[in-house]
Chain A
Amino acid sequence: MAVTKLFGASVKRREDPRLITGRGNFTDHIRLPGTLFMALKRSPHAHARIVRVDVSKARAMPGVVAVYTGQDLVDKLAPVPCAWLIPNSDLKVPSYRALAVDKVRYVGDAVAAVVAENRYVAEDALEAIDVEYEVLPAIVDQEQATQDGAPQLYDDVPNNIAFHWKLHAGDFDSAWNQAEVKLSRRLINHRLIPTAMEPRGALAHYNPGTGDLTIWCTSQNPHVHRLLLSAVTGIPETRIRVIATDVGGGFGSKIPMYSGEMLASAISRDLGRPIKWFESRRENYVATTHGRDHIQYVDLAATREGKVTGIRVKSYANLGAYLSTASPGVPTWLFGLMLCGAYAIPAVHVDVFGVVTNTTPTDAYRGAGRPEATYLLERMMDLLARELGMDPADIRRKNFVPKEQFPYTTATGLQYDSGNYEATLDRALELVNYQQLRREQEELRAQGRYLGIGFSTYVEVCGLAPSAAAGAMGFQGGLWESATVRVHPSGKVSVFTGSNPHGQGEETTFAQIVADELGISIDDVEIVHGDTEMIPFGMGTYGSRSLAVGGTAVIMATRKVKEKATKIAAHLLEVAPEDVTFENGRFFVKGAPDRAKTFQEVAGAAYLAWSMPEGVTPGLEETHFHDPINNTFPFGCHICVAEVDADTGKVSFRKYVAVDDVGNVVNPMIVDGQVHGGIAQGLAQAVYEYAAYDENGQLLTATLMDYAVPKASMLPRFDVDRTVTPTPVNPMGAKGAGETGTIASTPAVANAIIDALSPFGIDHLDIPLTPERIWRAVQERRG
Chain B
Amino acid sequence: MYPSTFEYYRPSSVSEAIQLLSQNPDAKLLAGGHSLIPAMKLRLSSPAALIDITRIPGLSGIRDTGDRVVIGATTTYDEVMRSELIQRTLPILPETIDVIGDLQVRNLGTIGGSLAHADPAADLPAVMLALGAEFKAIGPNGERTIPVDQFFVDLFTTALQPNEILTEIAIPKPAGRTGMAYEKFANPASGYAVVGAAAVVTLGADGRVTAARVAVTGAGPYAVRRTETEQALVGQEPTTEVIKQASQRASEGMTFNSDVFASDEYRAHLTRVFVGRAIAKAAQRAQG
Q: Point out residues on A near B: beta carbons under 8 Å.
A: 119-120, 123-124, 127, 280-282, 647-648, 650, 688, 692, 700-701, 703-710, 714, 770-772, 775-776
Contact = CB atoms under 8 A, between A and B. Distances in A.
10 contacts: A119-B2, A120-B2, A124-B5, A648-B273, A692-B260, A700-B259, A700-B260, A703-B42, A705-B190, A772-B261
Contacts of A708: 187-189
Interface in B236-273: 259-263, 266, 269-270, 273
Contacts of A120: 2, 5
B280 to A, nearest CB: 13
B261 A775 contact: no
B240 to A, nearest CB: 14
Nearest to A702: B42
B269 A650 contact: no
Given A120-B5, A124-B5, A281-B1, A772 B185 contact: no
A692 B262 CA distance: 13
Given A119-B2, A706-B260, A650 B189 contact: no
B277 to A, nearest CB: 9
Nearest to B38: A705
Contacts, number: 54
A644 to B, nearest CB: 14
A772 B263 contact: yes
Interface of B: 1-2, 4-5, 42-43, 185, 187-190, 192, 259-263, 266, 269-270, 273
Contact of B269 (A709, A714, A775): A775
Contact of B42 (A282, A710, A714): A282
A770 B189 CA distance: 12
Contacts of B259: 700
Contacts of B185: 648, 650, 771
B74 to A, nearest CB: 25
A688 B262 contact: no
Given A127-B4, A282-B1, A704-B190, 11 more contacts: A127-B43, A648-B185, A648-B270, A648-B273, A701-B189, A704-B189, A707-B189, A708-B188, A770-B261, A771-B185, A772-B261
Contacts of B190: 704-706
B262 A772 contact: yes
Nearest to A775: B266
Contacts of A714: 188
A114 to B, nearest CB: 12
B188 A710 contact: yes
Contacts of B269: 775
B250 to A, nearest CB: 14
Contacts of A647: 273
A89 to B, nearest CB: 34
A624 B187 CA distance: 51
A280 B261 CA distance: 24
Contacts of B266: 771-772, 775-776
Nearest to A690: B260
Nearest to A279: B1
A521 to B, nearest CB: 40
B3 to A, nearest CB: 8
A556 to B, nearest CB: 46
Top 8 nearest A-B pairs (CB, nearest first) are A708-B189, A280-B1, A708-B188, A705-B190, A123-B2, A700-B260, A772-B266, A692-B260
The interface centre, meaning the residue of B42, B187, B259, B266 with most chain A CB atoms within 10 A of its CB, is: B266
A770 B261 CA distance: 8
B189 A706 contact: yes
Nearest to A39: B2
A107 B201 CA distance: 50
A123 B1 CA distance: 9
Contacts of A650: 185
The interface centre, meaning the residue of B2, B42, B43 with most chain A CB atoms within 10 A of its CB, is: B2
Contacts of B1: 280-282
Contacts of B192: 705
A627 B263 CA distance: 53
A770 B42 CA distance: 27
